[in-house]
Amino acid sequence: MNTPTTTASKDDVKAVRAFNRFYTQRIGVLDPYLGSELALTQVRVLYELAHRDQPTAAELGRDLALDAGYLSRILRSFETKGWLARVASPADARQSLLKLTDAGHQAFAPLQQKSRDQAAALLGALPAAGQRQLIEAMATVQRLLDTSQATPPTRTVLLRDMRPGDMGWVVQQHGELYAREYGWNSEFEGLVAGIVAGFIKDYQPGWERCWIAELDGERVGSIFVMRKSKAVAQLRLLILAPQARGLGLGARLTDECMAFARAQGYKKMLLWTNSCLTAARNIYARRGFKLVKSEPYHGFGHDLVGETWQLRL
């Protein structure tokens, strides 16, 4: 328990408690959780077992701040249902490693899907701008209240070549993110799918390349260099997931493209974007790209302004 360093006013304390009551009711914490027979804490333990690699009970109790006796009763109930197996730890025979059985995973899967559906419904009731505002507000609350470490944890960033499955992810991310943040329809996802299909079908090693950005082992971004002509390269499909923004990854991906294009002997790099994509436009402008053409059009369900940018390499 952290000792307060400042004194909160009675009105502020009242506001926090009011928000807690509202939000717990809104997400159904006070009801049978996710329509199951399990309480919220039981589902949380089930979630951790499904997503961790054979933790010990001590690790779960520490990370979830659960009383050892209470956690033990939850784990015994899971064993009784046939959801949980214990395996002796090869490092310490006195400890058991916990692992969900196939039946445990089958019990958890519909709960996880219901949780996803619930979150999607919560966001779906808001316009795109409201969704973005809510997500950012939640991130702010988490950042301000997460005092588990004195210093921020080190993040592992990796820029790598494409692997099987990456291209489908690129299409999915573009479709989902632009629909959520800008309200663009499926025409945009179709456009991206066509670009990706063309890249795979006509791939020219040595002249073209794709980078996938990973953050702590999770895919969070992409960018492509495609050959437009012998002298001209085209930068395409720069995207970053929300959790990867603010880390300079967009700039790093763009720099990789520029360095690759110069090394391959390209004389010029082009890209096409939209005027509403301010973060990407700022990255391009800071690296010397110049806006050479601007043209209004109707696409993806909106009136937009398409832009062509150019860089002399």
Are 196 and 290 contained in the same domain? yes
Are 75 and 198 contained in the same domain? no
Q: CA-to-CA distance for 251 and 249, rounded, in angstroms? A: 5
Tens-place pLDDT, residues 205-218: 999 999 999 998 89
- pLDDT of 105 strictly over 80: yes
Domain enclosing residue 184, as ranges:
157-312
Record the pTM.
0.54
If one compares 192 and 34, the residue with the highest pLDDT of the two is: 192
Number of H helices, E strands in the chain: 10, 9
Are 175 and 290 contained in the same domain? yes
Residue 124 included in any domain: no
Domain boundary among 62, 84, 115: 115
Tens-place pLDDT, residues 20-56: 777 777 776 666 666 677 788 888 888 888 888 788 8
Residue 150 included in any domain: no
Domain boundary among 62, 82, 115: 115
- The pLDDT score that the predictor gives to residue 28 is 67
- The pLDDT score that the predictor gives to residue 1 is 43
Are 80 and 196 contained in the same domain? no
Are 283 and 222 contained in the same domain? yes
Residue 146 included in any domain: no
Residue 143 included in any domain: no
Phi, psi of 267, rounded to the nearest 5 degrees = -100, -20
Residue 27 included in any domain: yes
Are 50 and 196 contained in the same domain? no
> pLDDT-based confidence at 239, cuts 50/70/90?
very high
Residue 51 included in any domain: yes
CATH number (domain holding residue 275): 3.40.630.30
Beta bridge partners of 212: 160, 222
Question: Do 312 and 267 meet the contact criterion of CB atoms below 8 Å apart?
Answer: yes
CATH number (domain holding residue 106): 1.10.10.10
Domain boundary among 115, 138, 169: 115
Residue 162 included in any domain: yes
Question: Do 204 and 227 meet the contact criterion of CB atoms below 8 Å apart?
Answer: yes
State how many domains the chain has: 2
Are 292 and 162 contained in the same domain? yes
Residue 231 included in any domain: yes
3-state helix, strand, coil split of the chain in percent (to 5) is 50, 25, 30
Are 237 and 186 contained in the same domain? yes
Tens-place pLDDT, residues 265-313: 999 999 999 999 999 999 999 999 999 999 999 999 999 999 999 999 9
Q: CA-to-CA distance for 219 and 229, rounded, in angstroms? A: 30
Are 97 and 219 contained in the same domain? no
Selection from 276, 274, 279 nearest residue 241 by Cα:
279
